[in-house]
Structure 1
Amino acid sequence: MSIDHDREREAADRALVEGHAPYHRRALAFYDLFVMHGSAPWCWRCPSRNFRQLYDTCIGARHAEIGVGTGYLLARCRFPVPDPHITLVDLNPATLDYTAERLADFRTERVLANALEPLPLDEGAYDSAALSFLLHCIPGSLKEKGIALANAARVVRPGGVVFGSTVLASGVPVSRAGRFLMRDLNRKGVFHNDRDSLGDLRDQLHTPFERHELVVRGCVGLFRAWTPS
């Protein structure tokens, strides 16, 4: 039983690392065009203004970005203070470096870490934490990778907010183009969301948080959840 569990964990770890492989520096230069201006509005039916509004209304003065992408939203959002402190958390050094360079005008800290494991950050040290377009890239079902939400909740202060977005496969309207692209990305190991449903996302938001809001735009779930005060 233990050997089977170890093998499953090793396979999941490999899938997680392989899922980060496409996000090398050359690919990141085109990420915003292909994702924020391409697949998000045209395939997932969720224009970038929805993500920006989420950031503008949730981001705090001390913020942890878990799964940093290219820093597109951090570079465009409205922080509540002129000199925010931003901690960038990712398993991929290339995305950490790319985003830190993009945010050179801000105070940033880079942390190499796995969102599925306890984060090497001080507990309750942040006003906000974001997991944007991250969960659909992590292997497993939402019931398994929901631990990333709990890990984020631990580093946010009482009454702080964890927010983000993820592409869902069921319980939401998926366009024909979206379904085609989703299958292709799952086949390539870039996405791992073929079992991700709106109901499971809602269930994962119940446990570590005092309250939450979850809205759907296209096939994207956008959420914000507050830790107990």
Structure 2
Amino acid sequence: MESNQAQTELPNPTEARIQAAAESYRRPMLATYDMFVLGMMSRFMWRCPRGRMLAHYDRQVGAAHLDIGPGTGWFLDKSRFPVESPSITLLDLNEVVLATAAHRIRRYHPETRVGDAFKPFPLGTARFDSVGMNFLLHCLPGSMAQKSVVFDHVVPFLRPGARVFGSTVLGNGPHHTGRSGKLLAKLNRSEVFSNLDDRLEDLDEQLRARFTDVETARTGAVCLFSARFPGVR
């Protein structure tokens, strides 16, 4: 059972908290991200190997794809797109992240946009078949209801039938081991994560309020989610 202390200390999505989370992804951190975060931490701490997340990515990704919080671009680089030349747009608040991911998948000639998950996206008339949010939500401050505004911000840019999907590390609960629970607390203290109260049930509820064909499944301490936009605005 989650503690009252965790609930009362839930951080709000202030400008300072949003910037703090984004700025943690600097070049030195990104240089080790694939091996340390996606490799070691995902497998041994969160107990959700990156190969499982990639398989989830491959099942959802479309020909015109928006990736929010692309990290180093590892999933985009490894993914099997349904077409040879997909149209890819990268969106992040951190320009270093955008440059890193865009360089990695330069063969696809991606577009980049600086954007904040808590504000309407600067995407003009773009429309997408899929939107990926891998390891994004656990970095966003606030309750799951507050974080889920990111789903509202993608809706204007979705084609009928578009897939919205991703993965996120869940907050306190029996799905954490002693080691992963300690790491979770440390990452929240440092403001890299803001997810102590994030529950799968709350994410599922937020997705069902906006989309259809919602699927949420837990592997270790990670929730893999997907949903379909029915096309009704």
Per the normalisation by structure 2, the TM-score is 0.91
Offset at residue 64 of structure 1 (A)? 0.2
Report the counterpart of residue 161 of structure 1 in structure 2: 163
SS at match of 2:90: strand
Candidates 189, 192, 197, aligned match of 1:187: 189
Structure 1 equivalent of residue 150 of structure 2 = 148
* Contact 1:123 1:156 (C-alpha < 8 Å) held by counterparts: no
Question: Within 2, Cα distance between the matches of 1:108 and 1:124?
Answer: 13
**Which residue of structure 2 aligns with residue 3 of structure 1?**
none
Letter in 1 for 2:195: N
- Could you list the runs of 4 or more consecutive aligned residues of structure 1 that deviate by over 6 angstroms after TM superposition? none
Does residue 208 of the first structure (1) align with residue 210 of the second (2)? yes
2:53 is matched with which residue?
Answer: 51
How many residues are treated as equivalent by the alignment? Answer: 221
Is contact 1:172–1:198 with CA below 8 Å preserved after alignment? no
RMSD between aligned alpha carbons? Answer: 1.6
Structure 1: segments with no counterpart, 5+ residues: 1-7
Aligned partner of residue 57 in structure 1, secondary structure: helix
Q: What's the secondary structure of 2:14's corresponding residue? A: helix
Partner of 2:88 in structure 1? 86
Once the two structures are superposed, the pairs formed by residues 1-229 of structure 1 within 5 Å of their partners are 12-122=14-124, 125-170=127-172, 173-229=175-231
Q: Distance in 2 between matches of 1:156 and 1:22?
A: 29
Give 1:154 shift. 2.8
Give the counterpart letter for 1:213 in structure 2.
E
Identity rate of aligned residues, in percent? 38
What stretches of structure 2 of length at least 5 have no aligned partner? Answer: 1-10
Indicate the SS of the match to 1:49.
Answer: helix
Give, in whole Å, the separation in 1 of the partners of 2:227 and 2:161.
Answer: 9
